[in-house]
Structure 1
Amino acid sequence: MGTDKISANEIKAKNRQNIYQYIRERGSVSKQEIVVDMQLSLPTVTANLDYLKKQGLIDTSGKIKHTGGRNATAFSYIKNARTAIGVDITANHITAVAVDLSGEIVSMERRRIQFNLEDDLYLREIGEVVECVKRDAQIADTNLLGVGISVQSLISNDGEYIEYGKALNFTRRRREEIAAYVPYRSRLVHDSYAAGYRETWTNHKFQNAFYISLSNSVGGSVIIDDAIYEGNTHKGGEIGHLEVVSEGGELCYCGRRGCFDTVCRAGKLTDYTEGSLEEFFHLLENGDETARSLWNTYLDHLSRAIHNVRMLFDGMVILGGYVGAYMGKYLDDIYRRVDERNPFGDRAKDYLVECQYKVEASAAGAALFYIDEFLENI
């Protein structure tokens, strides 16, 4: 049995974190409420509130009205006391967002530009997009926690280089190359992990979930007890490379045939509409027979993947990515297809949902890693 004791400094840090979290959850509270609800001494609460105020994390200008006696000071949570920036890099776009301590996006910039790490102008564009949202959100250098950079690739444990990046052909490229014109703390983040984390960060019903990213490539992330499960070698959730076509399958960018990516990437739909997903769904809604045929085939493959994920993880399943953003109108059809495969009688409508966050999900999720780091080390 372990005999390690918690030090006095650790107790102080834990009390501070708990008090700050209490204020975050309630928005505005009195000192007495903290003392009573958290069962802490008045000196302990007072000392921690003084510390949080000096750090600029709480506001004390308000009052809580009482029916009798003097009104108490209201200790209120300042959402924009610190901010993080997230950047999502794809084949044709750079998206950057500024995210406050509540996880809310306070500024966003999206630019269409072709991915090319060999072009210095492209690297400068990444830096300019970051500066654009920083200016728009009026973030002081001292209040910027860092810049998370979401990429379509597997990332090293320290966030410093690309371990596997065949989707955009940039395996082994390093963070300092990609962030050459980003003069702030930064790290690389797997895009599917970032998007999945964004979905679950503020929604506690997704304590255990599998996020399926249906974009230009197909990816996924596993969330267990509110944390991303990366696996032993950072490949947890790589649903895009499940083999779903045993013979004669299309060649995947990974070099093998029959991967889930080859049948459910966005291109299986947009190849019909010259790259426009919006136009594809417009045609689908207006009865275009080719669009309907492509969509039926797509849903057959997708429903099989959803069923397999449910059998493996028995948790919520979230449909995200570019295609996932359009799923709302078609969920009943997907529920029916998935339910036909389920031997246990589970109803897909009880565990299958469309994503709440659309194009900004990966960028915002990348920023949240810095928000979490800050909240854990107050």
Structure 2
Amino acid sequence: MSERGVTTITLKQINKEKVYQYIYRTKQTSKLQIVQDLKMGLSTVSQNLNVLEEEGLIQRDGYFESTGGRKAQVIQIVSDVRISIGIGILKKMFHIVAIDLYGKVIAKDTIDLDYSDTEEYYEKVANKIDEFIEEYKYQKERILGVSIATQGIISPDGSGVMYGTIMNNVKMRMSDFSSKLPYPCRLVHDSKAAAYLELWNHSELDSAVVFLLNRNLGGAIITNRKVHEGSFMHSGVIEHICINSDGPLCYCGNRGCLETYCSANSLSEIAGMSIKEFFEKLRENKEENIKQIWKEYLKHLAFAMRNLNLVVDGPIIISGYLAPYFMENDLNYLLKQINLSLPFDFPKENLIVGTNGQYTPAIGAALFYVKKFIDGIAPTI
């Protein structure tokens, strides 16, 4: 192929990518708006729209209100033309979600299944994923990939878990899943996946600390709009910050880790009841011991938030299983505790609460394949 031919093909791909991503960003637009904003010729835009429509990537749906002339046709992407699957693995269950190209959850489920490092377990997970996809009638060619979030630190090359005390899953490998599924697969630390979701949801976010308040505590550090990994993938492991050297024994073998005070499991253990029951009693506002347990929990959480804010000057994000239980008065109390000993005020708008609860890691994991698709739309799909 001639150099000129390669250049022509490349230019077509670039233009196609520009048009698609413009439609993706604006959500709804018109042909004339694309021409004006991208400064492309009308024929070039028309050709690219035809190609994208033939590939099923965009659709023309309805008309904008008239501004005096002919009504402009509404152009938008087909958001579910491709779907990403996210998995969040825990000791006793795993969460599964399907998201569209805007990261919207279009299906979700929780599967009760005890983790074990056995072929039988991985076969069951793969079968449940297949059943989930079949239940919602998603054709295989629409699936971008399966991204699996798990408790445990993932190796730099993503091939497996290299530290997994909570689940005893240090032998978990990406190949345990990819060998049983006909889709691209990847492994990711659940806390890092939660941070990816927050970056997706908050385009203005530059630096932040994420508190993943799951059954076991997790955390992540965001700097320069990236999840900080660290030299050995240990960055953001806030659950093992020691806040009391004489405190309860942590699963890591040390005493007084934040995990032993601020995980959902620790809250449930101290209260002697399930999380659901605890918050039902708390909101009834009748039992003083329940209110005191919650205040102590928030004080410990505020202590960690206060210190981490001195290291990472940015928003603090409350995410995960416990996030939906936080009410306005809880946030006000937490903010007051954070500011008790800070040399400068931590503003309320910098205390952010996530909205996806226990499905957060699964959704965050699934976003990887969505972003990969959107970024690489120009080549043949």
TM-score, length of structure 1 as denominator length: 0.89
Distance of 2:234 and 2:183 partners within structure 1: 28
Paired residues, what number? Answer: 369
Shift of 1:362: 0.8
Distance of 1:266 and 1:187 partners within structure 2: 27
Alignment-derived partner of residue 4 in structure 1: none
Amino acid aligned to 1:280: F
Please say if residues 103 and 202 of structure 1, whose CA atoms lie closer than 8 Å, have aligned partners that are also in contact. Answer: no
Shift of 1:188: 0.7
Deviates more, 1:332-341 or 1:127-136: 127-136
Q: Secondary structure of the equivalent of 1:197?
A: helix
Shift of 1:48: 2.9
TM-aligned CA distance change 1:164 to 1:63, over 3 Å: same
Shift of 1:47: 3.6
TM-aligned CA distance change 1:54 to 1:344, over 3 Å: same
Q: Which among 274, 277, 296 is matched to residue 276 of structure 1?
A: 274
Deviates more, 1:78-87 or 1:352-361: 352-361
Distance of 2:295 and 2:25 partners within structure 1: 44
Shift of 1:41: 2.8
Alignment-derived partner of residue 23 in structure 1: 23
Please say if residues 315 and 351 of structure 1, whose CA atoms lie closer than 8 Å, have aligned partners that are also in contact. Answer: yes
What pairs with 1:24-39 in structure 2 (closer than 5 Å)?
A: 24-39=24-39
Shift of 1:108: 0.7
Distance of 2:252 and 2:64 partners within structure 1: 60
Pair 1:135-2:131 in alignment: no
What pairs with 1:1-378 in structure 2 (closer than 5 Å)?
A: 13-60=13-60, 62-64=62-64, 66=66, 70-118=70-118, 120=120, 122-178=121-177, 181-245=180-244, 247-272=245-270, 276-285=274-283, 286-329=285-328, 330-347=330-347, 349-378=348-377
Alignment-derived partner of residue 3 in structure 1: none
Task: Give structure 1 regions of 4+ aligned residues with deviation exceeding 6 angstroms.
Answer: 7-10
Superposed CA deviations along residues 299-354 of structure 1, whole A, max 9, x for unmatched, are 2211011111211111111111222331224111111111112111333x121122
Shift of 1:51: 3.2
Please say if residues 221 and 237 of structure 1, whose CA atoms lie closer than 8 Å, have aligned partners that are also in contact. Answer: yes
Distance of 2:106 and 2:193 partners within structure 1: 18
Amino acid aligned to 1:303: A
Shift of 1:61: 5.4
Q: Secondary structure of the equivalent of 1:98?
A: strand
Distance of 2:268 and 2:240 partners within structure 1: 21
Please say if residues 106 and 137 of structure 1, whose CA atoms lie closer than 8 Å, have aligned partners that are also in contact. Answer: no
Q: Secondary structure of the equivalent of 1:79?
A: coil
Superposed CA deviations along residues 104-140 of structure 1, whole A, max 9, x for unmatched, are 01111112222223361x3333123322332343321
Distance of 2:294 and 2:68 partners within structure 1: 65
Shift of 1:69: 5.4
Shift of 1:63: 4.3
Distance of 1:182 and 1:170 partners within structure 2: 20
TM-aligned CA distance change 1:49 to 1:296, over 3 Å: same
TM-aligned CA distance change 1:339 to 1:82, over 3 Å: same
Q: Secondary structure of the equivalent of 1:295?
A: helix
TM-aligned CA distance change 1:253 to 1:8, over 3 Å: farther
Alignment-derived partner of residue 4 in structure 2: none
Superposed CA deviations along residues 244-273 of structure 1, whole A, max 9, x for unmatched, are 22x323222222222211221112211145
Deviates more, 1:353-362 or 1:226-235: 226-235
Distance of 2:299 and 2:150 partners within structure 1: 28
TM-aligned CA distance change 1:340 to 1:106, over 3 Å: same
Overall identity of the aligned pairs, in %: 32
Please say if residues 146 and 185 of structure 1, whose CA atoms lie closer than 8 Å, have aligned partners that are also in contact. Answer: yes
Amino acid aligned to 1:341: S
Shift of 1:173: 2.1
Please say if residues 338 and 346 of structure 2, whose CA atoms lie closer than 8 Å, have aligned partners that are also in contact. Answer: no
Distance of 1:222 and 1:44 partners within structure 2: 43
Please say if residues 123 and 179 of structure 1, whose CA atoms lie closer than 8 Å, have aligned partners that are also in contact. Answer: no
Amino acid aligned to 1:148: S
Distance of 2:109 and 2:373 partners within structure 1: 24
Please say if residues 271 and 293 of structure 2, whose CA atoms lie closer than 8 Å, have aligned partners that are also in contact. Answer: no
Q: Secondary structure of the equivalent of 1:134?
A: helix
TM-aligned CA distance change 1:72 to 1:350, over 3 Å: closer
Deviates more, 1:55-64 or 1:208-217: 55-64
Unaligned runs of 5+ in 1: 1-6
